[in-house]
Chain A
Amino acid sequence: MYKTMILALGLAVGSGGVAMAQSAWTGGDELPTNPLACDGAAGAAAAVPYDGGQPTGAPDMKGQKITVVDVPKLIGIGYFNATSKGIADAAAELGSVDAKTDGPTKANIDEQITFLDNSITSGVNGILFAANDPVAIAPVLKKALSKGIHVVGYDANSTPDAREWFVNQAEFNGIAKSMVDNMAKEAGEEASFAIVTSTFTTPNQARWIAEMAAYQAKCHPKMKWLETVEAQEDNVLSFNQASTLINKYGDELKGIFGMTSVATPASAEAVTQGGKCGQIAVVGLATPNAMKPYVAKDCVKSVVLWNPVDLGYAAMYVLRAAVDGDLKPGATSVKAGKLGDLQVINGSEILLGQPFTFTKDNINDFDF
């Protein structure tokens, strides 16, 4: 009888595996992609009507003191430290905002939901979030909206109707183009490359990789995609994975993409310690401070990122504008302090700007 049951489990699992097994995977997701034009001409963005959600019965707090809680994917990593700093900076500038960052210690939806739920109970006026999962976070955000709390996302979106606005650091296809173009420039049009990412379940990374695959197929068709490896958000594991890729492919490997601010410096370290500087290009998302040593040694030429401090700063300004009624559905731009006017795209998203490429010439101008 046990054998039958174990067999049944095997069959169930097996059939499930077959049902979900797709063509060769890359670490990307299965959502439709929208690669940009190869020459860099901006595609005509179709105007999308406002698709966000609105709080019900929010009290009029215009100009009054508000309390805001920021719930990032997780606390205790450099990236969200930077966004949190931006939020605090903006709150100090605005003067009438009491902002606090609190979140789970691991990037886990279960705990993030609990944190959001507790914030709702404690009666905040506004919530800032970076979602660990766009759908899973939606019910609790909708609950916040239904209690008259203003909700603005940044970094990682939720489903649109669960928040009012989302501050988009850079569009997925824009990041993808920047990454692949830089790689083609450094490693050559016929280069073989591999990717080191965090986990396959991280939505942003999966989206970027899918867009990169589409853009590479369209604009750099001769480049060869070797494989994608998973390395959590762990320095040493990222280093080991990148080293293993170098060992495996030898001279065939011409480039490594680092998809997180942890994976990119670790990949650069692997290339350095492997004595492959100049032979293997490293292009990736990373914060400038972590990359300065490698850029100084000419081991890494381009680092792609937006400024996370600005991202948090903009999110705080957007939330204040939404509370004050200065940012209403249908608006086309919003004032964000020192960042000036930010443009509204895709209905209810606010674009921080184009992804920035750090190089040897400008990297020392930044400190985060």
Chain B
Amino acid sequence: MTSPLATPRLTAPVRRLATTLEANGQELVVFAVIVVLFAVVAMINPRFLSDTNLTTIFSGNAYVAVAAIGMTLVIISGNIDVSVGSLIGVLATISGTLAVNGYPIIICWLAPLVVGIAINAFVGVLVAYVRIPSIVVTLGMLSVLKGGLISATAGAWINDLPPDFMLAQFRLFGIPSPIYFMVALTILAALWMRHSGFGRTIYAIGGNPDAARVAGIRIERSIVGVFMIHGFFAGIAAVLFATQLQVIQSTVPPNLELTVITASVVGGVSILGGTGTVIGSTLAAILFAAIGSALIFTNVSAYWLRAVQGLLILATVLADMARRRRLR
């Protein structure tokens, strides 16, 4: 406990550290948990840190992190999207269907982005202009997209995808492309959120919509914009998801929306809107991927997997709450 009187006498580095902590607290907590987890598991089984396993953890789950970036923006703006899993399922199926029908590869990669943006523009209009709460719109979209996908494909797998289509299997300097996408998109989105006018607008809307309106921000338009950006990221996630394996399942990946939302909130996005960063959500997505892998490496009975995940989410959130209380 630092007494208030002591604060002014803090040396500059400590003060800077305190500021960094305050600004990036949750990211640091999640980062610390990742470091501890990797260290502990590596002590039990050093193969955990082998380059192949790190590739599996990072590359195999990059699409979750990418989707979580868009979700983070949506949540910062004070909204939510529970249909993102179904959307990714639909977009991945569209991409694969175009590919097996011989369309140019670039169109197969871009179509999911365009369709994702279009669908979410519609969602955004319903939320912003028609003023239906986002959880209601996206609950409805969840049913519509999932039911529509099953009606359209009847679950037939998409086989015989052209080799050029496999974006996620492409490697540069031995590192699979999803990792580049994850890192690049996270950094770009983080910089953009911090420095662009629109980024600050999103924070303003989530933090206090009335104040934002008074300040002359066109809230409706911005919210549609946020959902469209989210659709763009969902499109990229869908392409990474679709091009990972030789087949596409044409179903909705089970519980994907929960994983994505959890990554965003554990990464420090306040569900009340207004705060949070995409770096945190990417770190949290990595954390979940690492937990799944770590449980196999430490021989924890897989029956307890979800219990351990739940405990870790809780621990991360409680640690963050405790930190905020200390800083206050």
Residue A244 CB within 8 A of the other chain:
yes
CB distance from A233 to the nearest CB of B (A): 7
**Total CB contacts across the A-B interface at under 8 A:** 104
CB distance from B143 to the nearest CB of A (A): 10
- B318 contacts across to A, CB distance below 8 A: none
CB distance from A20 to the nearest CB of B (A): 10
Given the interface pairs A200-B302, A239-B60, A239-B244, the reply to whether A290 lies near B159 with Cβ below 8 Å is yes
Contact check: which of A25, A105, A234, A292 meets B253 at CB < 8 Å? A234
Residue B156 CB within 8 A of the other chain:
yes
Query: Which chain A residues in 230-257 approach chain B with CB under 8 Å?
Result: 230, 232-237, 239-241, 243-248, 250
Residue A221 CB within 8 A of the other chain:
no
Query: Which chain B residues in 160-180 approach chain A with CB under 8 Å?
Result: 169
A266 to B247, alpha carbons, bound, how many Å?
A: 9
Given the interface pairs A243-B56, A247-B52, A290-B159, the reply to whether A228 lies near B302 with Cβ below 8 Å is yes
- A248 contacts across to B, CB distance below 8 A: 45, 47-48, 53, 296-297
A64 to B50, alpha carbons, bound, how many Å?
A: 66
Binds A, one of B67-75, B122-130, B147-155, B202-210: B147-155
Given the interface pairs A247-B56, A248-B297, A289-B159, the reply to whether A235 lies near B249 with Cβ below 8 Å is yes
Residue A293 CB within 8 A of the other chain:
yes
Closest chain B residue to A273 by CB distance? B169
Closest chain B residue to A78 by CB distance? B157
A248 to B247, alpha carbons, bound, how many Å?
A: 25
A81 to B56, alpha carbons, bound, how many Å?
A: 31
Interface string of A283-298 (1 = CB under 8 A from B): 0000001101100000
- B241 contacts across to A, CB distance below 8 A: 236
Using C-beta atoms within 8 Å of the partner chain, give the interface range for chain A.
Answer: 35 or more
| Contact, CB under 8 Å: B301 / A244 | no
CB distance from A355 to the nearest CB of B (A): 22
Residue B299 CB within 8 A of the other chain:
yes
Residue B270 CB within 8 A of the other chain:
no
- A219 contacts across to B, CB distance below 8 A: none
A106 to B155, alpha carbons, bound, how many Å?
A: 12
Given the interface pairs A234-B253, A244-B56, the reply to whether A227 lies near B299 with Cβ below 8 Å is yes
Interface string of B22-58 (1 = CB under 8 A from A): 0000000000000000000000010110101100100
- B292 contacts across to A, CB distance below 8 A: 240-241, 244
A246 to B289, alpha carbons, bound, how many Å?
A: 16
Interface string of A75-111 (1 = CB under 8 A from B): 1111011000000000000000000000001100000
Residue A274 CB within 8 A of the other chain:
yes
Residue B251 CB within 8 A of the other chain:
yes
Contact check: which of A228, A240, A247, A293 meets B47 at CB < 8 Å? A247
CB distance from A268 to the nearest CB of B (A): 9
- B323 contacts across to A, CB distance below 8 A: none
Residue B246 CB within 8 A of the other chain:
yes
Given the interface pairs A269-B245, A289-B159, the reply to whether A236 lies near B296 with Cβ below 8 Å is no
Contact check: which of B147, B153, B247, B251 meets A265 at CB < 8 Å? B247
A127 to B247, alpha carbons, bound, how many Å?
A: 33
| Contact, CB under 8 Å: B254 / A232 | yes
| Contact, CB under 8 Å: A105 / B60 | no
Contact check: which of B45, B50, B61, B169 meets A240 at CB < 8 Å? B61
| Contact, CB under 8 Å: A234 / B47 | no
- B247 contacts across to A, CB distance below 8 A: 235, 265, 290
Contact check: which of B155, B245, B249, B299 meets A75 at CB < 8 Å? B155
| Contact, CB under 8 Å: B245 / A239 | yes
Contact check: which of A105, A240, A269, A290 meets B157 at CB < 8 Å? A290
Closest chain A residue to B50 by CB distance? A247
Residue B293 CB within 8 A of the other chain:
yes
- A239 contacts across to B, CB distance below 8 A: 60, 244-245
CB distance from A366 to the nearest CB of B (A): 13
| Contact, CB under 8 Å: A229 / B169 | no
Chain A interface SS verdict (over half): helix
| Contact, CB under 8 Å: B254 / A244 | no
- B149 contacts across to A, CB distance below 8 A: 76
Residue A262 CB within 8 A of the other chain:
yes
Residue B314 CB within 8 A of the other chain:
no
Given the interface pairs A76-B251, A239-B60, the reply to whether A244 lies near B53 with Cβ below 8 Å is yes
- A269 contacts across to B, CB distance below 8 A: 245-246
| Contact, CB under 8 Å: A233 / B254 | yes
- B301 contacts across to A, CB distance below 8 A: 25
A185 to B154, alpha carbons, bound, how many Å?
A: 37
| Contact, CB under 8 Å: B147 / A105 | yes
CB distance from A271 to the nearest CB of B (A): 12
- A200 contacts across to B, CB distance below 8 A: 302-303
Closest chain B residue to A275 by CB distance? B52
A75 to B155, alpha carbons, bound, how many Å?
A: 7
Residue B305 CB within 8 A of the other chain:
yes
A25 to B300, alpha carbons, bound, how many Å?
A: 11
Contact check: which of A240, A290, A293 meets B60 at CB < 8 Å? A240
- A245 contacts across to B, CB distance below 8 A: 296
- A232 contacts across to B, CB distance below 8 A: 254
Query: Which chain A residues in 50-87 approach chain B with CB under 8 Å?
Result: 75-78, 80-81
A262 to B247, alpha carbons, bound, how many Å?
A: 10
A250 to B48, alpha carbons, bound, how many Å?
A: 11
Closest chain B residue to A235 by CB distance? B249
Closest chain B residue to A247 by CB distance? B53
Closest chain B residue to A248 by CB distance? B297
19 residue pairs from A and B, CB less than 8 Å apart: A25-B301, A25-B303, A76-B149, A76-B153, A76-B155, A76-B251, A81-B156, A106-B254, A230-B305, A234-B254, A235-B247, A243-B56, A245-B296, A248-B45, A250-B47, A265-B245, A273-B169, A274-B52, A292-B159
User: With A77-B251, A244-B296, A290-B247 given, can you name 15 additional A-B contacts, CB distance below 8 Å?
Assistant: A80-B155, A106-B254, A229-B302, A230-B302, A236-B63, A239-B244, A239-B245, A240-B56, A240-B61, A244-B292, A245-B296, A250-B47, A269-B246, A273-B169, A290-B159
Q: Give me the interface of A with B, judged by CB distance under 8 Å.
A: 25, 75-78, 80-81, 105-106, 200, 227-230, 232-237, 239-241, 243-248, 250, 262, 265-266, 269, 273-274, 289-290, 292-293
User: When A and B form their complex, which 5 residue pairs have the shortest distance between CB atoms, in order from nearest?
Assistant: A76-B155, A247-B53, A76-B150, A243-B56, A240-B60
